[in-house]
Amino acid sequence: MNVQYMKRALALARIGAGQTSPNPMVGAVIVKDGRIIGEGYHAFYGGPHAEVNAIENALEDVEGAEIYVTLEPCSHYGKTPPCALKLIEKRFSKVYVAMEDPNPLVAGRGIQMLRKQGIEVEVGLLEEEARALNEVFLKYITQKKPFCVLKAAMTLDGKIATVTGESKWITSEASRAYVHQLRHELRAIMVGIGTVLADDPALTTRLEDGNGRDPVRVIVDSRLRIPLEARVLRNKSLSPTIIATTDKADPDKATALQAMENVQLIITPEKDGKVDLDYLMFVLGEQGIDSLLLEGGATLNASALESGIVDKVMMFIAPKILGGQNAPTPVGGKGIEVIEKAVQLKAMKVVPVGEDIMVEAAVVGRLLAKE
């Protein structure tokens, strides 16, 4: 039965997706005499934590109860008081923790605090599921760089457009809705200047209920070729547009862009004549951007894999065949010469999405290194 309670806590945590960044998603379930008497989750950044919400929602006194929490209760004062102290104050008998918090400010201290006060703590129940839930937080809190998801839509024969460049729409409406949910949940979206010039995208979030959060838009444009009338510069979104460029860009164009409302320039070092993506990730992390959806074309995707910034790939595959030797594929660049240097993937999952399938996998290797 313990597993079912933690599964419920994980499901509750998931409700906060897209709202808690850069904090983790956390759920909590309070059980007394074999009954669930309280539930809660971290609903938004800066708001009460899951344990506090579960206690406030409890149907009866929680003294002597057990609580199932998907992440170690915090032990420090941040935007809210320590949850570990709250559990001690309310005299819980036992705390089940799915995983220890990797945040250096916590890192086992919450568990230690509870045990010192005589509260039994069990750690590791559904830990793998808890780590998967908060993969974004785990990277960001330890490396201070965004968790990067490379997304691509393609045909069964691996084409992202026809030989004439037509790409709307390769995948189904269900897949496109799924991607807009990703835009809502991840903090930023990144494309290359080629995508902007070809499609003039808005890069906003469009969910059925209209409540989606727009991601920060990041445009990789080493020479500032972006038109001043581009939609990403002119839309009314509350989220800013960041243009990553180099010092080789036209200074007059840079001045004009910096004068625009809600537009920011990041100047990175050059790497092979392009924006240094690893440096860009460092700067974005400094700005509190914990996650990034890469919706680039073949050139940017190849650069991202080669730079080693990609953590996960999500490939949406439509039941269509386009053919064409020169039709573009998701990853361009020079390619690799020997199989042993290929990008290695693990933990692959295949999920039906409408009439398409989505293949998701974690990246464990990187593209052919520069000689």
Each residue's pLDDT tens digit, 166-198: 888 899 999 999 999 999 999 999 999 999 998
- Tell me, yes or no, if 360 is annotated catalytic: no
Query: Which pLDDT score is estimated for 75?
Result: 81
| pLDDT at 113 exceeding the cut of 50 | yes
Q: What is the pTM of this model?
A: 0.90
Q: Is 132 annotated as a binding residue?
A: no
Poorest-pLDDT segment among 98-112, 139-153, 233-247, 248-262: 98-112
Q: Is 292 annotated as a binding residue?
A: no
Q: Is 188 annotated as a binding residue?
A: no
| pLDDT at 369 exceeding the cut of 50 | no
Cα separations (Å) of 243 from 83, 160, 216, 275, 287? 39, 24, 11, 10, 14
Query: Which pLDDT score is estimated for 365?
Result: 59
Query: Which pLDDT score is estimated for 370?
Result: 38
Q: Is 195 annotated as a binding residue?
A: yes
Q: Is 156 annotated as a binding residue?
A: no
Query: Which pLDDT score is estimated for 347?
Result: 92
| pLDDT at 371 exceeding the cut of 60 | no
The single residue of 51, 66, 72, 185 carrying the catalytic annotation is 51
Q: Is 238 annotated as a binding residue?
A: no
Q: Which two tokens stand for residue 220?
A: 């990789």
Q: Is 56 annotated as a binding residue?
A: no
Query: Which pLDDT score is estimated for 212?
Result: 83
Q: Judge: domain 144-363, CATH 3.40.430.10.
A: yes
192 burial level (CB within 10 Å; 0-12, 13-18, 19+): buried
Query: Which pLDDT score is estimated for 187?
Result: 95
Identify which of 360, 352, 362 has the alpha carbon closest to the alpha carbon of residue 171.
352
Cα separations (Å) of 97 from 10, 29, 50, 140, 317? 11, 11, 13, 21, 37
Query: Which pLDDT score is estimated for 79?
Result: 65
Query: Which pLDDT score is estimated for 368?
Result: 41
Query: Which pLDDT score is estimated for 103?
Result: 84
Dump pLDDT digits (tens) for 338-347.
988 889 999 9
Q: Judge: domain 3-135, CATH 3.40.140.10.
A: yes
